[in-house]
Amino acid sequence: MADTMQFDLVSPERRLASLPVTAVMIPGAEGDMTAMANHAPTITTLRPGVLRVESPEGTSEYLVTGGFAEIGADGLSVLAEKAIPMDQMTRAHLDELIEEARTTYKTVQETDQPHGLVEDAAKLLADMEALGTHMSL
């Protein structure tokens, strides 16, 4: 049996999960990565995607919309802005998220803000839409 590490998934409002896991697949901003026990300490930001958690008890999946993951010596914490368990995910949820991303995109486009906000919003929108296809909803 593989080594396990402590995994915490917290959203601003509450702690969603806290359990020992064998591996976690993280949708990192620069590409997916899988963290297992004794991973090098890393901090990465998240893009909207699916977080897959493999624990001795089984596999669970969460949809995360952004935030960051911290892999440390004592385990892995994912601080997600919004996290929804996949089995509670519905098309309506996703539509809502896509709509939100679209509005953000529109407003930043109109106000023409600096620091590449437009690109960010465009990417967010694309990510959200890709997510829908990925989940085949």
* Chain residues in the site for another protein (CB under 8 A): 8, 10-15, 28-30, 40-45, 67-68, 70, 72-73, 77, 79, 81, 113-115
State in angstroms the smallest separation of the CB of 93 from another protein: 14
- Paired with 5 in beta bridges are 21
Q: How far is the CA of 45 from the CAs of 26, 61, 73, 107, in angstroms?
A: 10, 18, 18, 24
State in angstroms the smallest separation of the CB of 71 from another protein: 8
Q: Where are the beta strands (DSSP E) in the chain?
A: 5-10, 15-21, 23-28, 31-36, 42-46, 49-55, 58-64, 67-72, 75-80, 83-85
Nearer to another protein, 4 or 42 (CB): 42
Nearer to another protein, 2 or 81 (CB): 81
State in angstroms the smallest separation of the CB of 4 from another protein: 20
SS3 125: helix
Nearer to another protein, 59 or 107 (CB): 107
Nearer to another protein, 79 or 126 (CB): 79
